[in-house]
Amino acid sequence: MPQVKVTIQRGAGLHARPAAEFVKLANRFAAASSVRLNGRQANAKSILGILSLGANRGSEVELEVDGVDAERAMTALRDFLATASE
């Protein structure tokens, strides 16, 4: 399973609108994906799971992706988190 650590650069972290955009992006892929922060893990395709992490800008999260399109999913999700946005 590909794993990568990424520091969240988005202005608000993964709260409300950015979390919804992240989940929508994750759902475009068949691969199973998860996000880990501070010992907690959430399904990247679950808005409630992502919101429950409380991931702020500057938080280092670990992405884990597994499935037929894992590489494309990993790249898209990593880039989403690592790109600064207001």
Active site residues: 15
How many other C-beta atoms lie within 10 A of the C-beta of residue 2? 16
Q: What residue has token string 């994906």?
A: 33
The tally of CA atoms less than 13 A away on the side-chain side of residue 38 is 7
